[in-house]
Chain A
């Protein structure tokens, strides 16, 4: 390509941009927002390699904070907690959503189905503060859960919220309580979208309900299942900050402390800015790798990526 041609192309390019300039003005607020509240923080991440000071320039300390992190026994425990909580939520909840959607679809009575939907979507819209408030009261020593368990023959009430063995199950249960209805919508929609002629053909062949579920409904759920499985993998290191923050107390903190709560505690509460940034940096980089990994795996497996 010679110089003249290049110049000509550039000119056309800028003419096009100029022609569309009102459109770019419309995106401008969004771009500015991200520049201020995402790009600037990304620049601040260099703090992981510097010693913070509010007045004087930061002093470079190299990998000091990373060495500190990996030498600390706290961090290893917290990483372990994060992985365990994330993993368990994943394997316990993931199958529950499509199963709930199938059960809902099997319900013949339309009004009952509507009622179940209306009730089960609601918890998704409550804040974690409200959910924690409700369940801390339900799970307390003389709360509703213990009362029911006593009726079924339990002798001594269980203090779920301060028990190191129970608290993780409380987290899993409350996550399910909050998201079961809402997160199953995607599967319910996939079931509704199935071509009715498939059911008719199955009925003519005399298929049982179980055969219909196995051969018609389950295959239709496979693609959304793969998509959701992969999508969630990208957020594996999150493990639910808001939930853990509001469900934890001094008695159980060490067994449910996760990366994000650790970052909050050392960063904002104790003001160790550099250390917290270093943990965020590790988490962010691993997160990006997980997302890229899932994107390319998904492209290979299903032909479509995360974006």
Chain B
């Protein structure tokens, strides 16, 4: 009975349709992966829907991982992502803890302030001038500090903290726990799924950040992977990546297929996302959303 239901005509059509839809989502990525793993001669002829590498070769990755500018930018991306996410999550959980304490006198004005801050965007130039006048221009700290707290995530975090059972908190108070102790020893461990989810969201945003980095970080040696990726893949600036000298000498580096090298750089930018993707799937479950939708 159950098996018959699974193989009924509508089910087959539906499965087919969703399968095709999934293919359009995954094939472009697999093609990029296949291209990056093919030899320069083969990858130039690879069509856009091939998903299997032709004439397997890791020369593109050898170039990427031996490239001083790219390696430096990968390091910078990791640095900004780690420090930035730490700041994000500590600011957010501290504020969420304080704002979820019952009867906080100034809760209402603080929430109104935060929501207004979320809704009103002063625009690019006013912010640019502030970064300039704070003396952050050119420093990696500009990118780290410019996005410390996301109010939307703060609200989700508050929803997580609110559902920690009251008796446990009361027990903690009776045991003489300070606010910091309460946050570190009770609230965060009991809402670890929420903290993990928000941490991940912040780190994805940090890793994918390119725009602020492109306007506030002036030196190529301080910039992040996404900015280099943009220069190379979108704006098509190949010379600065291959190196003028290599182009003149027309050696191995200059002979690579640019499209395959672009593909390899894209894959390098995706790998960290894929690494934490299982965590997204594990924790981003029903209750995250239930938390974010206002009842």
Chain A interface (Cβ < 8 Å from any Cβ of B): 13, 16-17, 20, 22-24, 26-27, 29-31, 33-34, 36-45, 47, 103-104, 106-109, 112, 115-116, 118-123, 125-130, 132-138, 140, 142-148, 177, 180-181, 185-186, 189, 192-193, 209, 224, 227, 234, 241-242, 245-246, 260, 263-264, 267-268, 273, 276-277, 279-281, 283-284, 287-288, 291, 304, 307
Whether, in the assembled complex, B120 has its beta carbon less than 8 Å from a beta carbon of chain A, the answer is yes
Query: In whole angstroms, how far apart are the Cα atoms of A281 and B215 in the complex?
Result: 20
A23-B101 contact in complex given A120-B21, A227-B293, A280-B125, C-beta closer than 8 Å:
yes
Q: Which residues of A contact B86 (CB under 8 A)?
A: none
Query: In whole angstroms, how far apart are the Cα atoms of A42 and B113 in the complex?
Result: 13
Whether, in the assembled complex, B123 has its beta carbon less than 8 Å from a beta carbon of chain A, the answer is yes
B72 → A minimal CB distance (Å) = 18
Q: Which residues of B contact A180 (CB under 8 A)?
A: 21
Give chain B's interface secondary structure class.
Answer: helix
A143 → B minimal CB distance (Å) = 4
Query: In whole angstroms, how far apart are the Cα atoms of A42 and B21 in the complex?
Result: 44
Q: Are A44 and B233 in contact (CB under 8 A)?
A: no
B263 → A minimal CB distance (Å) = 8
Q: Which residues of B contact A104 (CB under 8 A)?
A: 18
Per CB-CB distance, the 5 closest pairs between chain A and chain B, nearest first, are A144-B48, A280-B123, A127-B208, A44-B126, A41-B122
Q: Are A129 and B98 in contact (CB under 8 A)?
A: no
* Contact with A23, one of B6, B114, B179 (Cβ below 8 angstroms): B179
Whether, in the assembled complex, B193 has its beta carbon less than 8 Å from a beta carbon of chain A, the answer is no
* Contact with B25, one of A24, A177, A242 (Cβ below 8 angstroms): A177
* A/B interface sample: 21 pairs, CB < 8 A: A26-B97, A31-B110, A44-B122, A44-B125, A45-B122, A103-B17, A116-B18, A119-B22, A125-B277, A126-B273, A127-B207, A127-B208, A129-B208, A136-B234, A144-B47, A147-B47, A193-B286, A280-B121, A280-B125, A288-B120, A307-B115
Q: Are A47 and B126 in contact (CB under 8 A)?
A: yes
Partner-contacting stretch, out of B128-136, B162-170, B244-252 = B128-136
Whether, in the assembled complex, B204 has its beta carbon less than 8 Å from a beta carbon of chain A, the answer is yes
Query: In whole angstroms, how far apart are the Cα atoms of A24 and B130 in the complex?
Result: 25
